[in-house]
Chain A
Amino acid sequence: MPILGIALDELYQYLGETLPPGRLEDELHRFGSSVEGWAELGRWRCPRCGAVTESAEPGTPPVACDGCGADLREVDPPAEDLGTVRVLRMELLAVRPDLFDPPGLARALRGFLGMEEGAPEYVVEKGDWSVEVDPALAGPDVVRPRIVAATVHDVDLDEARLRSLMKLQENVHWALGRDRKLASIGVYDLRHVSGPNLRYRAVPMDGVRFVPLGFDPDDPEAALTPAEILERHPKGRAFARLLAGARRAPLLEDADGGVLSMPPIINSENTRVTTKTREVLIDVTGLEDRHIEKALNIVVTSLLESSPGAYARTLEIRYESGIRRTPDLAPQEVHLCPVETSRLIGVDWSGEEVAALLRRMRHDAEAREDHVRVLVPAWRADILHPRDLMEDVAIAHGYDRMPAVALETATYGGPLPREGLAAAARAALAGQGMLEVMTLALTSEEATYAKTGIPDRDRHVRLENPISVEQTMLRVSLVPGLMETLALNLGHPYPQRIFEVGMVTFVDEAAETGAREHLVAGFALAGDGTGYADARAALDALLHEMGTDPAAVEYAPVEIPLFLPGRGAEVRVGGKAVGILGEVHPEVLERYRVIHPVAVAELFLEELPGC
């Protein structure tokens, strides 16, 4: 989970109040935000794009600029050191991007702490700008068909505000946008955008040139085509996969044909937002409307929340199929049944009480005859179902104040038969003085077959994306793990007697998921004087304890490289192979550096009759 740094001074500025030390963390935990700790961060301004990026080591500039991706340790002129800031480190709660910046978090806390209730009101005027959407964006050359946009006026952007706006954009990309796939946000200085009719269209990959953010507009070489941006610009390379396979690039242009951005990759340099910016245009592109609307609402209300007196204007989004107006900050109306809520949470509430709790969570809510009418604010992206509001009610009430309710579900429990079998085998082997070991169920072909000499019957479950060469498959035998354990304990006094009871897995076409587990007991006996007879005696004892009729047991010689020739056997019960045992070949022992004789055995417990 990514960590979010919330600057404490900014948070308290928007909260309008300072909390005593410790109280803020407690309240955030009660609210459901996980505080990881505190940090002192350095702030650095990028000389190329002007963006401010934080650095965990206050004296050292960060590797990559949040705005343009430039390496701030290498740039010339050097990055500007803006001093340090104390930040609260929180885990990003992906479903609540509205809490990702100080204004948004303060808005929620003002409700939770009882300073305000219900939803704040923001001013949204009808604007006369529009975006014309090219139907070609719906494919097949490129798939990025949807766009929403807003303008926000009379904003006040200082350094800190600019930086946290940039950060918010990045985090919303991650949380709501699934790394820009579902939603990609662009913010522009409205002064440099010619209105009123913008165009969102698909262009050939080499058809248009513009200077991407962070490149020098005076450099004639800096104007790049979409194809070149995907190759050369740091952000282009980072997000090229989102346009993989596209033959045309999405492009947002102003009324004069000036390029604003190439979603979802990069904005152009000349519409960059600075501390002088007083009016912004915001667009969000994506695959479907809910995600991009929520992203737009979160960014727009964050700006409105942080600049008293600011207001938003709508744009007309013109699709072939019809016209929409955004931003739409109208709340979502949900009817919540207080009886159901009380029953599910386990606290007896009236409709009034439920409504009051919801207002603490910044919903507008009022109790009606048989339900609570809830107006969910437009920036809440996580309310999919009335159930989500029940959680808000529970959080507002406080998890720490939930009544003790004894669970009255009367049922008869019982263990899995397989567990009984495993327990019996463990008792039988521990009773013979063996220590139980537990080894990893993940292993490799090398460790399973090559090292032990167990024949590869090509029936193992193979991983598609192993993380290391040592774990490429699910184990098919306990012997390699037992041998590894002996190899780890060369300095321990001998004799060593160890066992494991666990699952091995084989590919099985008849199984629903294509593979099946088998319960196996295995053991290894090591020490001078140990041999086949010891393993045989121990295995016979195990078979006895598993209730196997000795008359049905046969031992047949088996020659595999794991065993010394003539000292390995297959155990059969009623003619069916159920296990192996034998003296480990010195060549195998050498691979594990074991210098004492070892006898091993393993038994498929569920293959035994009656088990």
Chain B
Amino acid sequence: MTETFRPQEAAVLRALAAREGAAAVEEIAREAGLDQSPVAAAVVRLAELGLVEVEEESREELRLGSRGKGFPGGEFPERVVARALRELGGRAELPDLPGKTGLEMKQVGESLRWLASRGWAKKEGKTLVLGDPWKDGEPDLQADERLVSRLRDGGPALREDLAAEGLPVDEALALLGKRSGVIETRTRRRRFVSLTDAGRQRVAGGVEAREEVTELTTDLLVSGRWREVDFRPYDVTLAGPRVSLGKEHPFRRILEKTRRVFLEMGFEEVESPYVESAFWDFDALFQPQDHPARDMQDTFYVARPARAKLPAEELVERVGRTHEDGGDTGSLGWRTRWDRELAGRPVLRTHTTAASIRALAADPNPPRKVFCVGPVFRRETIDYKHLPVFHQVDGIVIDEHASFAGLLSLLGTFYRKMGFERIQFRPAFFPYTEPSVEVFVWMESRSDWVEMGGAGVFRPEVTEPLGCRVPVLAWGLGLERLAMFRYELSDIREIYLAHLRWLEEVPLCRS
């Protein structure tokens, strides 16, 4: 099988295959006619594939330092000074020397120490006197001078190479001692690459090079050349840019889930007007006309339109009589006068039960299952847990065989579908249901039961005037509360006065 590699990798493998043992990266680069860095990258990848082994070696490289580079004509200043002294007859006044040597006074001054240590000259007052080594002519270059000269002519070199050339490197460095800036040493790492056994086997099977590209382009696709190239792998662990998408409101998803639950259970969806007559909002539900909930304190009354039409006279009559003395329902009634004027006042619907009762009146014949999700209005001042508008779900089951126990089972199913595991039922009171029940769910975060909604069997005073003689199970539930628990909101206003950041952040799956 012929393995394919990127061109640089192939070049490295070929270079290694052609020689015995290891090769330095720069040698391979030189042989392959490539820059060092792609070769180095190829080596890293081949090493990852287990085809080559890399050994690192560190060696000392010597080069001229800044002071060394500044030596005049590559000569140490003390040699220049000594030569001038000799020419001047072995003695010279210090101040004259710059003129005689072409050195600066500073360089001359610095050279005094080294003239002395080499024994080439010594200072007597302001006079410099030539030493013995120079009496018989100019002495040979000393070890440090030879090293500087070599580096100046041949450029930086490894210490071991210089030694191999016969230079007394150790002696030179000892001479230079504390003389800083003449020679610098730095550590050079060299990587030596050699084939592993796996690499040798792979090379034996033949090495084929392929071009590597970053992007897949239309050209590559149209020409079919994509088959001949390799695509540079990406670092798939890197983060991508953040995308914020258009999506439905988190509370919408609760409303939709609620609708879905009832649709799944075979309920028919209904609606009722936001501007509702007191008749359908209260009277048809046997809510006494002096009930506190009907107060201007709690209910929004509507100034325009000023009146709502009442339904068929016969129905209005039956509802009114039921309030006053029970009518034909067998009830005592509320024993107060019923005023049709009040029934015709328009209000903003205070509960979605208005939709349920309208649906029941429109068709009281069993079996029917009906629900409504929508906004309701209460005269509440806006604060962290109250709004004058909020949403409810309401539902009814009209069925000859329906029972209170069946209602509890249905509510249990609903709340479990909405994600609540522990449910508790407690007796309660509502004017239009009997028996009545309040549903509590266990809220782990609060370690307490939280009231979630009310339910019951519609009273005969509600159903019979509408021509319904079978049990009607009914329930209603506020949905914002559910949303607040689901999204851990501490302020109900977050739903309606929304921060786009929140809308973006709540995951679609959390509803």
Contact = CB atoms under 8 A, between A and B. Distances in A.
Contacts of A400: 424-425
Contact of B300 (A182, A384, A387, A463): A463
Contacts of A442: 377, 388-389
A124 interface: no
B101 interface: no
Given A178-B290, A385-B331, A409 B397 contact: yes
A413 B246 contact: no
Interface residues of B, number: 100
B275 A430 contact: no
B266 A413 contact: yes
A321 interface: no
A386 B330 contact: yes
Contact of A435 (B256, B366, B404, B504): B504
A94 interface: yes
B336 interface: yes
A320 interface: no
A134 B40 CA distance: 117
B156 interface: no
B364 interface: no
Interface in B394-422: 397-399, 401-406, 408-410, 412
A583 to B, nearest CB: 21
A344 B273 contact: no
B154 to A, nearest CB: 61
B335 A32 contact: no
A361 to B, nearest CB: 11
Nearest to B331: A385
Contacts of B251: 438
B310 to A, nearest CB: 9
B305 A514 contact: yes
A390 B435 contact: yes
B326 A385 contact: yes
Contacts of A431: 246
A391 B326 CA distance: 18
A435 B246 contact: yes
Interface stretch (B80-88, B92-100, B125-133, B453-461): B453-461
Contact of A439 (B248, B274, B367, B496): B496
Interface string A174-206: 000010011000000000000000000000000
Contact of B274 (A95, A406, A517): A517
Contacts of A346: 403-406
Q: Which 3 interchain pairs have the tightest Cβ spacing? A: A514-B305, A346-B405, A32-B427
Nearest to A516: B273
A87 to B, nearest CB: 20
A436 interface: yes
Interface stretch (B14-22, B46-54, B141-149, B379-387): B379-387
B168 interface: no
A188 to B, nearest CB: 27
Interface in A458-495: 460-468, 471, 474, 484-485, 488-489, 492
A343 interface: yes
Contacts of A437: 249, 498, 503
Contacts of A434: 246
A345 B389 contact: no
B336 A402 contact: no
B262 A344 contact: no
A29 interface: yes
Contacts of A93: 429
Contacts of A496: 500
A344 to B, nearest CB: 6
Contacts of B330: 385-386
Contact of B403 (A96, A345, A468): A345
Given A384-B332, A394-B404, A430-B245, 7 more contacts: A346-B404, A399-B437, A409-B368, A437-B249, A464-B302, A474-B275, A513-B273
Contacts of A468: 381-382
Interface in A74-112: 93-96
Contacts of B460: 385, 387
A207 interface: no
Contact of A391 (B389, B425, B436, B496): B436
B462 to A, nearest CB: 10
A459 to B, nearest CB: 9
A416 B245 contact: no
Interface string B253-275: 00010010011111111110111
A102 B406 CA distance: 35
B1 interface: no
A395 B375 contact: no
A78 to B, nearest CB: 35
Interface string B272-285: 01111100000000
Nearest to A332: B332
A288 interface: yes
B495 interface: yes
B406 to A, nearest CB: 4
Contact of B304 (A387, A391, A461, A492): A461
A291 B335 contact: yes
Contact of B302 (A387, A463, A492): A463
B329 interface: yes
B183 interface: no
A343 B381 contact: no
Interface in B271-326: 271, 273-277, 290, 292, 296, 300-309, 326
13 contacts: A347-B405, A402-B408, A407-B402, A407-B409, A409-B368, A432-B246, A435-B247, A439-B497, A460-B304, A463-B302, A474-B348, A492-B501, A515-B274
A450 to B, nearest CB: 19
A436 B409 contact: no
Contacts of B406: 346, 405-407
B422 to A, nearest CB: 12
Contacts of A423: 256
Nearest to B276: A513
